[in-house]
Structure 1
Amino acid sequence: MKLDLLYDKLKNFISEERIKQNEPMKNHTSFHIGGPADILVLPQDAEEIKRIITCCKDEGVPFFVMGNGTNLLVRDKGIRGVVIKLAQNFNDIQITKNIIKCKAGMAVSAAVRAALENSLSGLEFASGIPGTVGGAVVMNAGAFGGEMADVVKKVNVLDLEGNIFEMSKDELGYSYRNSVLQKGDKILLDVEMELTPGNRDEIKAKMEDYISRRKQKQPLNLPSAGSAFKRPPGNYAGYLIEKAGLKGYRIGGAMVSDLHAGFIVNIDNATCEDVLKLIKHIQKEVKDKFNIDLEPEIKIQGES
C-alpha cells in the first residue's frame, strides 16, 4: 500500500515514462542479472532527487542510488523500495579551459571523448572503463597506472537531509578502489575534473592503445561486472585465480572467464546465486592454496 501511495506521489512531479514499477534489474546491470525493483525512477536534476528522497522518507520506503549498473550484482528476489538511477537521464557536461564538469550519470566513455576533443590529457587511463563518471568517482576506478583520484578536483553531493554541498578531493578520503562516498550517506550529483592541455594525437594514440589492450585481455563480449575482486596487496586476483586452476570453472550459468580469470562472466542466464556461489568457491580455493583473502569488488544489492 505504501508503494502505491509513493507511486502516486512521484507521478505528481516525474513523468510516467521515467517511473517504472516491478522493473527487472537485469535490464539495468551489465551482468544482465537481477530480480525486479519495486519502483525504478530516472530523475533529471538534483531537485527531483531531493523530492524523491523526501517522498520515500515520508512513506517509510527504502531507496538505493545507482549509476549504469556496471559494477552491480542484484539478488534474484530484486530490490525492495525505490531504485534511483542516475545514468543517461542525468548527464550534462561543461568544459572550461582544462576543467571538465559533468553530472554523475555521464558515461565515462563520453567524458573520455570530451577530453580528447578538447585536447586534454589525464583521463586516458579511463579509456574503455564502463559505467558512469559518478560510479567511477565513488569507487575510485582506475587502470593502467591511473585512477579517478588523480583528476578529481571537487564534487557536489546531496545528503539525506536534502542539503547540497561541495566536497574537495581531500575530503573524499581516496584510497585504492575506495572513497568516503561509498558509505551511502551522500549522493554524488556532479564532479569537476582538472586535466592538462596536451597534444591531441598523443592523447588519442594512448587511448586507442589502452582500449586495444582491454579488448585483447578482457572478456568484453560477455556480460560481467568488470573485475570481480579487488587487487590483494602485492599480487593480482586474476593471477591467483588462474594459478588455483579456476579458469573456465563454472557454477550454473556463471563462469570464471577463460580469457581473464579476474572476471566472472554470465554465459548462460546465470542467477545471482550462481555468481555468489562461484565467488565463495574462488575465495576458498585461493585462501587454501595461497593463504590470501580475496575481497569482492562487485557491489551486491537486493533481497536475500
Structure 2
Amino acid sequence: MSPFSPLFMNEIRSLGLKDVGFDVPLAPISRWKIGGDADIVVCPHSTTEVAQVVQLCKAHDVALFVMGDGSNMLIDSKGFRGVVMKIGAPMSKIEISGTRVTCGAGIWVPYMAKCLANAGLTGLEHVVGIPGTLGGLVLMNGGSQRKGVGSHVRRVTCVLPDSSIRDYTQEELGYSYRHSALQGAGVVITEVELVLANGDVSQIRRDQIDIMASRRKKFPKNLPNCGSTFLSNPAMYETVGPPGKAIEDAGLKGVALGGAQISPLHANFIVNRGNATSDDVLALIAYTRQTVFERTGYKMDCEARFLTETGEERPAHEFTDADRFDASLLDALISRVND
C-alpha cells in the first residue's frame, strides 16, 4: 500500500515526468551497492521538472532526497520512505564557448574532464578520475590532489526549498576546502558554469592519463565503495598524516566487519565485499574512529554521508554513537573483527 495520499499520487503522475518509478531498489544506483527500496524515484530532465517535484513534495509534506551518482552516500538498508530525485544523464548537457563551459549538474565528471581535454581547456585535470556527477562535486568543492572545483565555478543555478530558481555567483558560494555555502541549504543544483584557461591538448591528456594511472594503483576498483570515507583534517594532516595513513598505522588495513572491510589497497576506503549492510559500514566507521582517536588524539569526521529511512542525511560518523549502536551491540560487532 502506498504511504502517500491519493491526491499526492495523482498530482505526481499529472506532472507528466518522463522518468518516475515506484518501489525502486536503491542499492543498484548506489556506489556502495547498499540500500533498501525507495517509495518513488524521479529522474528529472530540466530545472523546471526539479522545481515541480520540490514544490509538490513541500506541499504534501513528503520527504525528498536529492542524489547524483551516490558516490559519497551510504543509504539505509531499510530503504527510504519518500521521493528520491536522481540528477543524472537526462541533465548532462555540456556547451563550450571559448573558455566558458556550461554543464548540466548530472554530467558524469570523468566524461566532462574528457570533453575539457578535447577542447584544450586546462584547470580541472584533477577531477578526471572522480566517479560522480558535477552537482555533487560543486556542492562539496570536490577534487583531488587537495584541489577543488570551486576555483573554476562562476555560476550555479539552483532550485531553492520553496521551489524558486536562483543563480549564485562564485563569491556567494563561499568556497573553502571541501565546503560551499550551499551545503545544508536544501538547494538542488541543476546547472553549472565554469571558466577555465586555454592549454595544450596533448599535455592535458598526458596529465589526465598520469592521474588515472596513479588512482588505479592506489584506489580499490573491484569492490563497491564510496571513495574516501574520512575527511582530511589539516591539523591531523600536519602531525599524523592523511586519514588513510592514520588508519593503516593503527593496524586496521584489511579489517572486516560483517560484509564491510577497510580496503587492503587504501585504508581510507571501506569496501562492500558483497553482502554489507549500512549497519556494517557504520559500525566499522565507529570502530575505526575510536581506534585512531585512542592512538592519535584525533577523531576523524566522515566525508561519506548517511541517509536514514526517514530522511535524515548527515555525515556518517554522526550516526555511530549510542543513539544507533548501544555499547553491547557495538562490542559484539567489533569482536568479530578479531575472529
Deviation at 1:64, TM superposition (A): 1.0
Which string of whole-angstrom CA distances, capped at 9 and with x for unpartnered residues, describes residues 37-67 of structure 1? 1111111001111111121122221111111
- Please, which moves more after superposition, 165-174 or 30-39? 165-174
For structure 2, the residue ranges without an aligned partner over 5 or more in a row are: 311-339
Q: 2:51 touches 2:165 (CA, 8 Å); kept in 1?
A: no
Distance 1:108 1:11 in 2: 31
Which string of whole-angstrom CA distances, capped at 9 and with x for unpartnered residues, describes residues 123-167 of structure 1? 100011011010100011111242111211121111112221111
Which one of 281, 288, 306 corresponds to residue 282 of structure 1?
288
2:24 is matched with: 23
Q: 1:14 touches 1:43 (CA, 8 Å); kept in 2?
A: no
User: Residues 23 and 4 (structure 1 numbering): CA distance in 2 closer, same or farther, change over 3 Å?
Assistant: farther
Give the TM-score taking structure 1 as reference length: 0.96
2:10 is matched with: 8
1:88 is matched with: 89
Distance 1:143 1:188 in 2: 21
1:239 is matched with: 245
Of Structure 1 and Structure 2, which has the larger fraction of its residues in strand?
A: 1
Q: Percent identity?
A: 36
Give the TM-score taking structure 2 as reference length: 0.87
Please say if 1:165 is aligned against 2:171: no
1:222 is matched with: 223
1:78 is matched with: 79
Q: 2:71 touches 2:227 (CA, 8 Å); kept in 1?
A: yes
User: Residues 91 and 293 (structure 1 numbering): CA distance in 2 closer, same or farther, change over 3 Å?
Assistant: same
Q: Secondary structure at the match of 1:183?
A: coil
Q: 1:125 touches 1:145 (CA, 8 Å); kept in 2?
A: no
Which one of 280, 292, 299 corresponds to residue 298 of structure 2?
292
1:303 is matched with: 309
Alignment of 1:104-115 (within 5 A): 104-115=105-116
Distance 1:201 1:74 in 2: 40
2:128 is matched with: 127
AA partner of residue 205 (structure 1) = R
1:138 is matched with: 139
Q: Secondary structure at the match of 2:62?
A: coil
Q: How many residues align?
A: 303
Q: 1:3 touches 1:61 (CA, 8 Å); kept in 2?
A: no
Deviation at 1:3, TM superposition (A): 5.0
Which string of whole-angstrom CA distances, capped at 9 and with x for unpartnered residues, describes residues 279-299 of structure 1? 000000000011111001001
AA partner of residue 259 (structure 1) = L
Deviation at 1:261, TM superposition (A): 0.3
AA partner of residue 127 (structure 1) = V
For structure 1, the residue ranges without an aligned partner over 5 or more in a row are: none
AA partner of residue 15 (structure 2) = F
Q: Secondary structure at the match of 2:89?
A: coil
Q: 2:35 touches 2:75 (CA, 8 Å); kept in 1?
A: yes
Q: 1:157 touches 1:187 (CA, 8 Å); kept in 2?
A: yes
2:152 is matched with: 151
- Please, which moves more after superposition, 4-13 or 274-283? 4-13
Q: Secondary structure at the match of 1:94?
A: strand
1:43 is matched with: 44
Q: 2:63 touches 2:81 (CA, 8 Å); kept in 1?
A: yes
Q: Secondary structure at the match of 2:183?
A: helix
Deviation at 1:87, TM superposition (A): 0.8
Q: 2:106 touches 2:134 (CA, 8 Å); kept in 1?
A: yes
1:186 is matched with: 187
Distance 1:248 1:170 in 2: 43
Deviation at 1:79, TM superposition (A): 1.2
AA partner of residue 116 (structure 1) = A
Distance 2:146 2:290 in 1: 29
1:254 is matched with: 260
Deviation at 1:8, TM superposition (A): 2.5
Distance 2:209 2:308 in 1: 37
Distance 1:174 1:259 in 2: 31
Over aligned residues, Cα RMSD in angstroms?
1.3
Deviation at 1:13, TM superposition (A): 2.2
AA partner of residue 131 (structure 1) = G
Q: 1:3 touches 1:81 (CA, 8 Å); kept in 2?
A: no
